[in-house]
Every structure is written in structure tokens, then in C-alpha cells.
Amino acid sequence: MFEALFLYPYRLFTRGEFLFASGWPAWVLLLLMLIAIAGTGYWVWRHHGGNFAGRRWIAVAALQGLVLALLLFLLWRPALRVTALKPQQNVIAVVVDDSRSMQLKHEDLPRLEAARKLLSGGLLEKLRNRFQVRVYRAGNYLERIQGLDALTGAQPATHLGLSMKQMMEESASLPIGAVVLLTDGSDNSGGLEADTLSEIRRRKIPIHSVGFGAEKLARDLEVLDLDVPQRALSDSRIGAAITLRHFGLNGQKAKLALLADEKIVASREVILGAEGVPQTETLLFNAGLAGARNVRASVVKLEGEENPSNNAQSRLINVESLKPRILYIEGEPKWDFKFIRRALEGDRNLQLTTMLRTTQNKIYRQGVEDPKELEQGFPGKEEELFKFSGLIIGGIEASYFTPQQQAMIRNFADRRGGGVLFLAGRGAFADGGWAASPVAEMIPVTLADRKGTFHRDPATAELTGAGRDSLIVRIEEDAKKNEERWRKLPYLANYQETGPAKPGATVLVDALPTSKGRHPLFVTQRYGRGRVSVFASSGTWRWQMLQDVKDLSHEVFWQQTLRWLVTETPPQVSATPSKQLLLDDGQVEFRADVRDPAYKPLAGATVEARILGPGGAAAMLPLTPDSSQTGLFTARWDAPKSGNYVVEVLARNGKEEMGRDVFTLSRQDGIAENFHAGQNRQLLEGLSRQTGGNYYTPASAQALPDDIAYSEAGITTRETKDLWNMPALLLALFGAKAAEWLLRRRWGAV
């Protein structure tokens, strides 16, 4: 229809350059048009104005003016200048996705079969009639093939970006006119890199994509993501957030299981929610003993599932045998002190060192490493305090600490990256003068500016919205049961009014005094490299004393809270990979943050990584200083094959060892291809749009040979195509005159 009216396809108009072939200036045309319209208007008003009622003459004048303007426009010879490929002198690269996902169905045929049918059914021949055609297959890499029989659909991955990059490199000396990409868009590496895209655009090569496969499968359940911490303390309870998505399985029950080293450690039956909407389920499990742990989330295949190979995902967790130390200083004997200590006794991986002020001048120490430790009281040097990973400030006045110690408390979170927890008490928060101290800045609540905020009155604890989602306060694995459990906890023996939470802080639990009101009870926030939290009660001991001895609410709450406090506390040497999970591509960057004993960045260190790979293969890699940040050392590395790798990073300052850190990473080949198996039309449309090409469905791809001819890449010629003879313009002329005649008849002015 478009071509019938405008002579040429729409795409030609989007690519071509409009011009007037007469060569006369456009401003003259514009001026003459204005004169014609104004003159016509004046003439109609002067000579026929009286024949029309009211202002009807204006419509007649406008139509006559339009006719004159259109005639003038045609006299100027409008035309379209386009760049077109020269026949038989250009190469068209036809790239067919040969990955495993192309074996999934496109309507009734496998996607690859549908692509083959499209090409052999005339598309390839039409292209060959006008261009030289080279056929490639894309998978892990790009490979030229001589015939369509070479397509097997056996490639374990699709790297469209890498394939296009390879294409650009190999065809640097070829007159590539366009790329035709037949794929489902199920790319495993995130599409094109910016430099490849920029090279394609520089060479003006359009990528025309033909998409295969339904955008969503009819019946499929997929494990979209498995989110677990990269590191965990041994024997700790950690959460795995498993994101599921399904199509066509609304309301069905699915069995979800979590396996650690192929042993089931948690499982649950889930009811599938709305179609296409990611649904996250959390399973808690024990990290077990130290070592690299392979964790796999899996859902049992449901009846009629089209793609069962996307029902599981794996991750690697580095379970560490560290025993982080927490220093707890308390201003006076209190029951919670004892019961927190007891709760931590059940945790083999946390070391609690306590300082209890029993009299004005006596400190009772427990959990010290030697009799001399903390003998002089709270640490006076950063090196002494920073040996700990967590710090608990109980009900003790701010004035107990010197200004230097107060600065150290702040630096403990900010620079050292430790966790600081403030507890309630007669000497805590505003009652202890903390509001006026420099430490107030790091406390996640705005402290009240008054005394008498500590109340020995009962209060219940209630989870907030954020608390319901948080794993820190998850006593029960199931979120709803957990909420119910919190609701049934005995009331706290006391609470403290702290003031409102600061912007950026998260309130996990509120305290509801039995009298009235609601106050933040458990608040957390990040501060610098570390974490800070407030627990505004010292009355959780009632959770222990008022419940059956088998009830572990109190123990679990404090163990999880204190583990949260220290789990992310970095060591002096902290190393991480840029990606822990390498899918089909081994490229990875190692980063090491190296600090001195006061946790100041250490620039002059010598840092190296020792890598242990599958089958015991070992490698050494030096890390070099990164100019972007003092104390940061980096190195790039390519994991050579699929499997798990353990990397130990060691840093020295001269001959003195600054520390070492271990992380794990995993390269998985051929796994990513199973996921996101629906056609990624968005990716293909974006790719074509960005390169000046078009997206086609197999049905609309018949127009491709004609469209492809107009390209600025390769060997081209410029053509000028007249527009004055467009049927649409002639129709407009006749239409205007016909409309004028009809109006005149209607108004009786013929």
C-alpha cells in the first residue's frame, strides 16, 4: 500500500536524502507558495466573498491555495537521493546461530530448521542474484561454512558480540554490504561490546536480524537466578535467594531443592505465581565445614515443560574457617550481657571478647586471648582495636571513651570496614551523652536530645516491611512463619527511645511498648566500608527465660545479628574476582585491596595470586598497582577451562606479610545457553536499530533482499529517485479540487 502511494518502500525514505532536482532554491519555492496562498485568498474574498455566507470563502480560498502550492512544489522536482550497493560487487554475510537453543521450537519446527528452510526456500538465492554471499555459523565463535548442512545446533553457547567482533576483524578487507543474522537472540555474554558496536557503525555495516522462536515459551519453569554470598563462615546459616520464572504454569506446585555438594540441604514446595513475573524464594541452609562448596538450586521438571535444562543453577561459595572476633564493652552488669554471651557460645565461628564494668574502676574481661589483652581497658590504639571484626557498645556513657577512642570507634566502621552495634541501657544513646559526641554521626538513628529515654517497661517486637524481607531477623525459614514467630515472642524487658531512623538507614524491627507508641528497635545502615546498627533494648533475655529451653529464637537472633555484623568485615588483604561465575568466557580480573595494620591503603606492597584450577593445575599471577585507587592491585586472567578455581592472594610489604585472602570462582561452559531460551527480540531490534539495519520475522524476511540493497557500507553507488510522479501527490491535487467543487455545490455557489 505504501509503495502504491509513494512509489518506493518506506525504508528508502528513512535512509534517503530529500532534495529538489530542479536546483532552484527552496526559499524561492517557499516565498512563491506564500504569495500564491495569500493572492488566492485575496482574489476569492474580493470577487466571490459576497457569494458565501459568513467565512465559508476561507475554506474555498485555502483549497485553491493548496492546489497552487502543490503545483509549485512539483515544479521544483522533489527527489530522494539514496546510497545503494552495487550489484555483484558486495558481500552479504549471512550469520546463522548454531547454538543449542536453536533446537527449541519455532512454531512446529526447530528454530534452526526454520532458519534453514527460510534460507533454502529462496532468500539465499535472491541474495545471491544480487550479491556475493558468505554463510557463517555462530556459537562460541564465528566460523564460515560452505553449505547449510554444516549447521547442527550443537554449539554450547551463543556469543553474538564475539561473533560480530570476529566478523569485523576477518572482513576488514572485504566489501561487506550488510550482515544478515538469523538467531533467537539468546546471547550468553550480554550482547555487543561498545568497541565492536562502534567499529560496525564506523564502517556503516547494517545488521539485519531475523528472529526465531516465540518470545516466551508456552510451558516452562526456569531458575532465573541463584543468589548466595560468595563467602560464608563455616557452620553459619546462610540464605539462598532463588528466583524462578514460568510461563503457562500459573498456580502449579513446584518442588524446589537446594543442594550443597550434591546433598540436599533445604527444600520447599512453592506455588507458582503470575506468569512471566520473577518470583524469589529464600532457602536457608548451613554452610557446613570450611572449603569451596558447590551450591545448586533445582526445581523438579513439571509435566509438559518445553525446556527442562533451565531448571537448575549452580554457584560456588567459599566457606571460610575464620573465627572473627567481636569486642563487646558493657557499662554495667545486665542480664542480656549474659544471655548474648550464652547465645554466642553455641556459635563455633564467632569469638566474643567482653569487657564488663562491674564497678566504677573494675572491668571484668572474658574471652581474651591472653591475660594481658585489654588489661588497660578499652583499646587506645587503632592496631589494637582493629584486630576485632565487630564492636558492640553496650549501655556505657560516651564520656567513658577519650576523644581519640571515639574517633577510633568511627574509623572502626569507616576505614577498617568493621561492624558496630549499639545496645540500649541506662548509659546508652541520648542518656549516655552520645548525641553530643562525634560518634553520633555514625549511629543510624537521630538521637533524642533529652535524658530519660531508657524505660524498664515491657515492649513487644514487630517486624517492619524491610524486616520481613531481611535474612538477619529470619528466625524461621519461611517468611510468613517468621513473622508469626516474632509476633509470639515474649515481650522485651525494656526498650529505649532512640529517635527516628536516619535517611538511608533500614528499620528491621520496631518496639511497641505495652503502654503506647512505636519506636525503632533494630536499625541498620552502611557507614564507610562497614556497617552500623542499633538494637534499642537490653531485654531480649526474656526470649530465653520465658520460652521453652528448646526454643532457639534468642540464640538464632543473636548469632545471625552478630554474624551479619562481621561477615563482610574485610581482612587486611581483601581479594575479589570481577565475576565469580564465568559463563563460557574465562576472562576475569582479580582485585586486591591491601591495607596496613591501621587499615590505611598500602601502596608499596608486592601482591601475587596463586591459582589452583581443575585437576590440580596451578598458576602464579602478579597483581600490579591500579592507578585509580591507592592500595588497589589488579591483574587480568583467563580461566582456561570449565571448572572450579581457588585463588589465594598474598601481599607483602617488604619481607613482612600483610595478609592473604582466598576466593573461589567457577567457569561454566554450555550452561548459559539453556537459560532465557525465548526469542530475545528486544536485543535483536536494538542491535539492528543501532547499526542501521532492520528486524524481521521469518514471515517478513522476504522483503530483506530489496531492503538490503540500500546500504552505505561496501561498494556503493548514489541514485536519485524522482518523487514528483508519486500517486499520492496527484491524488492530493485532484482531492483538493474535488473538495472545492463539492463545497461550492453544497453552499450553492457553483
Partner 1 sequence: MVFNRNLRALIVVILLAGACLAFQRRGRLPFLDDEDEPEPYPADAGEKTEWVFARLRYNSYRQGAGMWGVRGSWSTDYPKAERHFAQGIRRLSRVHVRSVEEVVDLDTDKIFDYPWIYGVEVGHWDLSDSQAAKLREYLTRGGFLMVDDFHGSIEWEIFMRSMSRVFPDRPVVDIPNKDAIFHMLFDLDNRVQIPGIVMFYTGQTYEQDGVTEKWGGIYDEKGRIMVAMCHNMDLGDAWEHADMPQYPERYTSMAYRIGLNYIIYSMTH
- The contact set with partner 1 (CB under 8 A) reads 331-335, 337-339, 341-342, 345, 354, 356-360, 362, 364, 366, 426, 456-457, 541-542, 544-549
**For partner 1, the closer CB: 295 or 493:** 493
Q: Smallest distance, Å, CB 574 to partner 1?
A: 35
Cite the beta strand spans of 139-261 per DSSP E: 142-145, 176-183, 207-211, 220-227, 231-233, 237-247, 253-260
Q: How far is the CB of 639 from partner 1 (least distance, A)?
A: 46
Q: Using the minimum distance from each CB to partner 1, give the nearer residue, 165 or 334.
A: 334
CB of 539 to partner 1, least distance (A): 9
User: In the Cβ-directed half-sphere of 698, how many Cα atoms lie within 13 Å?
Assistant: 22
Q: CB 675 → partner 1: shortest distance, Å?
A: 49
- State in angstroms the smallest separation of the CB of 674 from partner 1: 50
Cβ atoms < 10 Å from Cβ of 260: 20
Q: Which is nearer to partner 1, 202 or 362 (CB)?
A: 362
By C-beta, is 108 or 548 nearer to partner 1? 548
b/e string for 607-620 if b means 16 or more Cβ within 10 A? bbbebbbeeeeeee
Q: Other CB atoms closer than 10 Å to residue 276's CB: what's the count?
A: 11
C-beta of 146 vs 360, nearer to partner 1: 360
Find the shortest distance in angstroms from Cβ 402 to partner 1: 20
Return d(Cα 536, Cα 429) in angstroms, integer.
9
Cβ distance to partner 1 smaller for residue 328 or 696: 328
Looking at the Cβ atoms of 122 and 333, the one nearer to partner 1 is 333
Pair 128, 169: CB distance under 8 Å: no
- Alpha-carbon distance of 419 to 562, in angstroms, equals 9
Is the Cβ of residue 185 or residue 395 nearer to partner 1 in the bound state? 395
The residue type of 605 is A
Which alpha helices (DSSP H) does 92-176 contain, by range?
A: 111-118, 124-130, 160-170
Nearer to partner 1, 246 or 334 (CB): 334
The grid coordinates listed for 542 are: 526474656
Structure-derived torsion over alpha carbons of residues 355, 358, 361, 362, reported in degrees to the nearest 10: -60
- The interaxial angle of helices 56-75 and 26-48, nearest 10 deg, is 150
Q: Is 107 exposed, middle or buried (0-12, 13-18, 19+ CB in 10 A)?
A: exposed
Q: Rounded to the nearest whole angstrom, what is the least distance from the CB of residue 543 to partner 1 in the complex?
A: 10
Q: Which residues contact 249 (CB under 8 A, 6 or more apart)?
A: 219, 220, 221, 272, 275, 302
Residue 354 CB, nearest approach to partner 1 (Å): 8
Between CA 351 and CA 685 the distance in angstroms is 56
337/486 with CB nearer partner 1? 337
C-beta separation of 515 from 457 below 8 A: yes
Checking DSSP bridges between strand 656-668 and strand 142-145, what pairing results, if any? unpaired
Q: Which is nearer to partner 1, 253 or 456 (CB)?
A: 456
Q: How far is the CB of 445 from partner 1 (least distance, A)?
A: 23
> What distances in angstroms separate CA 529 from CA 109, 175, 446, 580, 597, one per listed residue?
54, 54, 21, 21, 16
CB of 245 to partner 1, least distance (A): 46
CB of 549 to partner 1, least distance (A): 5
> Measured from the CB of residue 397, what is the shortest distance to partner 1 in angstroms?
12
Q: Residue 383 Cβ, how far from partner 1 at the closest point, in Å?
A: 28
Contact assessment for residue 182 and residue 97, using Cβ atoms and an 8 Å cutoff: yes
> Cβ of residue 382: shortest distance to partner 1, in angstroms?
28
Closer to partner 1 by Cβ: residue 105 or 341: 341
Give the nearest distance from C-beta 491 to partner 1 in angstroms: 11
- Which residues share a beta bridge with 662? 648
In the block, residue with C-alpha cell 560480530: 164
How far, in Å, CA of 687 to CA of 699, rounded? 20
Judged by CB, which is closer to partner 1: 321, or 366? Answer: 366
Q: How far is the CB of 337 from partner 1 (least distance, A)?
A: 7
Closest Cα to residue 233, out of 390, 394, 372, 452?
A: 390
- How far is 686 from 693, CA to CA, in rounded Å? 10
Rounded to a whole number of angstroms, the minimum distance from the CB of residue 450 to partner 1 is 19
Q: In the complex with partner 1, which residue's Cβ is closer, 454 or 710?
A: 454
- Given the complex with partner 1, which of 358 and 697 has the nearer CB atom? 358
Q: CA-CA distance, 677 to 185, in Å (whole number)?
A: 9
| CA 19 from centre of chain | 46
Q: Residue 346 in contact with residue 358, Cβ under 8 Å?
A: no
Closer Cβ to partner 1, 214 or 489, answer by number: 489
CB-based contacts of 432, cutoff 8 Å, min separation 6: 331, 395, 396, 397, 398, 425, 426
Calculate ∠ Cα 185-186-187, nearest 5°. Answer: 95
Q: By C-beta, is 398 or 523 nearer to partner 1?
A: 398
Cβ closer to partner 1: 280 or 358?
358
The Cα 491–Cα 458 span in angstroms is 6
Cβ within 8 Å of residue 316, ≥6 positions away? 230, 292, 293, 294, 295, 580, 581, 644, 664, 665, 666
Expressed in percent and rounded to 5, the helix, strand and coil fractions of the chain are: 30, 35, 35
62 vs 41: CA distance, rounded Å: 7
Asked whether 529 and 414 are in contact (CB, 8 A), the reply is yes
Minimum gap (Å) between residue 541 Cβ and partner 1: 7
